[in-house]
Amino acid sequence: MPNDGAPFIQGDQIGFATNGEWTFPAGTVFVKHFELATNDLDQTMRRRLETRLLVRGTNGAVYGLTYKWRPDYSDADLLTNSLSEDIVVQTAGGTRTQTWYYPSPQDCLTCHTPAANYVLGVKTRQLNGNYLYPDSGRADNQLRTLNQLGLFYPPITSEFNITNYPRLAAVTNTGATLEDRARSYIDANCAQCHRPGGPQTTFDARYDTPLANQNILNGILAKGDLGYDHARVVVPRDILRSVLYDRMNTADSLVKMPQLARNLIDTNAVVAVADWIRSLPGVPALDPPTIHPPGGTAVGSLTVTLQHSDPSARLYFTVDGSLPGTNSTPYTGPVTLTNSVTLKAVAFDTGFNNSVAATATFAIRPPIQLVSFSFNSSGQFLVELQGLAGKSYIFQASTNLINWVAISTNVAPANLFQFTDASSTRFPYQFYRAIEEP
């Protein structure tokens, strides 16, 4: 804080509020230090990575700085651009590699948004808890401590009221309700953008906003539905149609949220949010069917089966990429595909909402097909075909498409094979075909 110690004047103090954001005087510097445990079996073995600064400027906005520590920890160097670094971590079975992302100054402003008053985390609902202060060895509520130091304006006149102030719950705190844990996590990780006036405004992630007013439950999406029919921000008792959950549960850079500086899935948060969605009132959704095989390429034909864990579930499918309904083809047994298709399958059952569609894409090529053709140095016609390995084919030629003459027979090639017509130079034109030997 930009002051010379008590007594403080208002321009040196934090603008305190029980809800919403605090304000900070120009020159305030926030320091965030990062270390990474490099041995899963010994968490004391840590590597110092970076120290980030967020500085409140004279115009009320902020700017961010990232300093990357040198290997010998003698100093840290300012980064002007973002940087990714692969760090080897010892495990019980060997090693794994974790990618660490160092943000650029421009990256900092992606999350430290004007709508969030630029400063994240330093607010009543996140600091309303005890902290062990190492210099004194004493634990105290952080709000009470800052108030006692005289850093708040207006001050907290009755510190007994602190227990009634908003307080976020750690996602791992099983003593808190699932709703508290999930909404606390959503607030801490999403509210910088998902709020009124923010860059993404279809739902309000702030914990201060009552759940019924947040537009999270069955809320309209700002971006895509990730391929799930009737997807929303959160659909009660339907994990897959809850895009908030889907974006948490992936490291895909095109899908994940938050998008910046996250290379791992927070499994504790994923479990807690999934449990919360399942606990919401509503009609549960069936899981999607499984498709075997789950897609791929085949020659000639392919048999596909559908399965579901609910033996009473009714399965319907389409092969044109459209969403199946109860008017689509019912699944009664294995399906033989002879053409390339996109197969979608949906499960229905009494007492449940229908599942999202399971999707698989299949490429079915003919039993034999032309790969290439050319003329060799002698002017003879050379053709390369693709067939079924181990099958025998007959290569035939004709000048009139009526009378066919076998050129090569009883060939049992590998997947790719060639035929040459030594007589092709004797005719002005020839037709060719290859057939499987009976």
Mean pLDDT of the 365-384 span: 80
pLDDT of residue 29: 97
Task: Tell me the chain's radius of gyration from C-alpha atoms.
Answer: 32
Interval 150-179: pLDDT, tens: 999 999 999 999 999 999 999 999 999 999
pLDDT of residue 389: 67
Chain mean pLDDT for the chain: 92
pLDDT of residue 415: 64
369-436 placed in CATH 2.60.40? yes
Mean pLDDT of the 118-140 span: 95
CB 14 within 8 A of CB 115: no
Mean pLDDT of the 1-12 span: 88
Q: Name all contacts of 107-111 with Cβ < 8 Å and 24+ positions apart.
A: 107/64, 107/82, 107/260, 107/261, 108/52, 108/54, 108/62, 108/63, 108/64, 108/65, 108/66, 109/62, 109/63, 109/64, 110/259, 110/260, 111/192, 111/193, 111/258, 111/260
CA-based end-to-end distance of the chain? 89
% of the chain exceeding 90 in pLDDT: 76
CATH number for the region 290-365 comes to 2.60.40.10
**CATH 2.60.40.10 domain position(s) in the chain:** 290-365
User: In what helix (H) or strand (E) does residue 111 lie, and over which residues does it extend?
Assistant: helix 105-111
Whole-model pTM: value is: 0.82
pLDDT of residue 371: 77
Place 373 in a pLDDT band, splitting at 50, 70 and 90. confident
Interval 309-328: pLDDT, tens: 999 999 999 999 999 999 99
Mean pLDDT of the 297-319 span: 94
